[in-house]
Amino acid sequence: LLGILSPSNYWTAPSESHFPNQNQTRNCWQNHVDFHHCEKIMTDKGGGVSTCEWYQCVYKSLCPLSWVST
């Protein structure tokens, strides 16, 4: 359990030059949309969706928990 909760397992989304302001709502939304778009494309091509996990990690890091817990 301590290995799971160690600080080295946590990371924050990298800064994005397209979203320089403090309000990261649009950045959150764009990464959410990009994840689902990537997931759909990879599923249609028969590939693995593991390449899309970066978008999922970023939007889960940026978005409020109440938005991503559903």
Q: What's the CA gap between 65 and 24, in Å, rounded?
A: 14
3-state secondary structure of 17: coil
Q: What's the CA gap between 56 and 26, in Å, rounded?
A: 15
The residues spanned by each domain of the chain are 24-67
Q: Which residues of the chain have pLDDT under 50?
A: 1-5
pTM greater than 0.85 (yes/no): no
Span 9-19, pLDDT tens digits: 656 666 667 66
CATH topology for 24-67 is: Arc Repressor Mutant, subunit A (1.10.10)
pLDDT, residue 66, reads: 87
